[in-house]
Structure 1
Amino acid sequence: MQISAVREAIADAARAVVLPDGIAKLTCSGYVPDSVIAPHFFVAEYEQDFDRVMGRGLDELTFTTRVLVARTDDVYSQRVLDGMLSGSGPASLKAAIEAARGAPGEYALGGLAHDLHVVRVQGYRWYEHAGTTYVGAELTIKVIGDGST
């Protein structure tokens, strides 16, 4: 798998999120940005397990992604974040990202990986990024794919 292409494809999938009226559109990036335009989703760190199948047949990537929401009102900001962290609905990051799995028998992320799965939300807290404080959380995404490409 090509890591850069997978990162960008995850960010592209997250762009499908539909936030409530009055909230700015979710901005997304495949890398940790210098500064964010909130609300913002980005792909941060990752771990890679090589050779899950012999002969470079399968690698497994575990991405840590983050979503940050501006603190205009502490309760309202957390409600917006909660919507993005829900397992379903138009604002659900899980639903938007997993829609990129493709139909049964198709490769995920437009052919870049065999499959992906949003497995966990963690780290729901205040984050400081580039000198500004946001409410946010991390989502863990597992991606499996051909290790020889």
Structure 2
Amino acid sequence: MAAVREAIADAARAVVLPAGVGKLTCSGYTPDSVVAPHFFAGEYSLEFDKAYGRALDEAELTCRVLVGRADDVSAQRTLDALLAGAGPASLKSAIEAARGEPGEAALGGLCDDFHVTRVQGYRWYEHQGTQYVGAELIIRIFGDGRS
């Protein structure tokens, strides 16, 4: 999962934020501190043996995006752009671009497929004593359990 989490963070770096917002920083792990706006792969759950002979495992990865709150309205507009289903700032679009072409393994062969399934928890988050507006993105990941 470590390599999958890093690959998802790499894919998220492709977003293009509105002018004046800065660049999205990303990590494949929960960081000690963040430089906002920041996307990171957090905790995950893993279900083994979804198909006979260890042919399929399924993971659900919770990712978070945190935006600084110097101005609460502009921070929420930036977050809304990141959470959109499409567009240059869309995390869903940027991440799912790493799925590859039909028939190809996703994330450069790290998994069979994955899908950004939902956004949840749009709220204020505290991370290392600093308040951010943020949300969670849930990604379902499918892969061969034998590897």
What is the TM-score normalised by the length of structure 1?
Answer: 0.98
Partner of 2:52: 54
Partner Cα separation in structure 2 for residue 42 and residue 53 of structure 1: 30
Cα deviation per residue 1:4-36 (whole Å; 9 max; x = unaligned)?
100101100100010011111100000000000
SS in structure 1 opposite 2:115? strand
Which amino acid counterpart does residue 121 of structure 1 have in structure 2?
Answer: V
For residue 76 of structure 1, report the CA deviation from its aligned partner. Answer: 0.5
Establish whether residue 32 from structure 1 lines up as the match of residue 27 from structure 2. Answer: no
Letter of the structure 1 residue corresponding to residue 109 of structure 2: G
Aligned to 1:10: 8
Determine the structure 2 residue equivalent to 1:65: 63
- Alpha-carbon distance in structure 1 between the residues aligned to 2:70 and 2:108: 36
The CA distance in 2 between the partners of 1:95 and 1:72, in whole Å, is 27
User: What is the rounded CA distance, in whole Å, between the counterparts of 2:22 and 2:36 in structure 1?
Assistant: 8
**What SS does structure 2 have at the residue aligned with 1:99?**
helix
Which secondary structure does the structure 2 equivalent of 1:41 belong to? Answer: strand
Specify which of 135, 138, 141 is matched with residue 137 of structure 1.
135
Shift of 1:72: 1.2
C-alpha RMSD over aligned residues: 0.5
Q: After TM superposition, what 4+ stretches of structure 1 lie above 4 angstroms from structure 2?
A: none
Match of 1:55, SS state, is helix
Equivalent position to 2:20, from 2, 17, 22: 22
